Amino acid sequence: MSTTNTAGDLSRFSINQMTVKQLSMPELVAQCVELGIPGVGLWREPVAAYGLDATAKLIRDAGLTVTTLCRGGFFTAIDPAERSAALEDNRRAIDEAATLGTDTLVLVSGGLPAGSKDLHGARERIADALSELGPYAFERGVRLAIEPLHPMFASDRCVVSTLAQALDIAERFPAEQVGVTVDTYHIWWDDTAPAQIARAGASSRIHTFQLADWITPLPAGVLNGRGQIGDGAIDMREWKGYVEAAGYTGPIEVELFNDDLWARDGRELLSETAERFVEHAA
Q: Could you list the residues that contact a copy of itself (CB under 8 A)?
A: 112, 116-120, 123, 150-152, 154-156, 161-162, 164-165, 188-192, 214, 216-222, 232-235, 238
DSSP tag of 125: H
3-state DSSP assignment of residue 152: helix
In the chain, the DSSP E strands lie at: 13-16, 39-43, 65-73, 104-108, 143-146, 178-183, 206-211, 213-214, 226-227, 252-254
DSSP tag of 233: S
Closest CB 230 distance from a copy of itself, rounded Å: 10
Closest CB 18 distance from a copy of itself, rounded Å: 20
What is the residue-wise DSSP string for 77-114?
--SHHHHHHHHHHHHHHHHHHHHHT-SEEEEE-B-PPT
Phi, psi of 73 (to 5 degrees): 115, -150
Closest CB 279 distance from a copy of itself, rounded Å: 14
Closest CB 263 distance from a copy of itself, rounded Å: 17
Nearer to a copy of itself, 214 or 248 (CB): 214
Nearer to a copy of itself, 98 or 126 (CB): 126
Distance of CA 202 to the CA centre of its chain: 20
- How far is Cα 250 from Cα 41, in angstroms, rounded to an integer? 13
Closest CB 258 distance from a copy of itself, rounded Å: 14
CA angle 256, 258, 262 (to 5 degrees): 100
Nearer to a copy of itself, 132 or 156 (CB): 156
Nearer to a copy of itself, 43 or 188 (CB): 188
Nearer to a copy of itself, 132 or 190 (CB): 190
Nearer to a copy of itself, 25 or 160 (CB): 160
Q: Which amino acid is at 149?
A: L
3-state DSSP assignment of residue 196: helix
Closest CB 11 distance from a copy of itself, rounded Å: 25
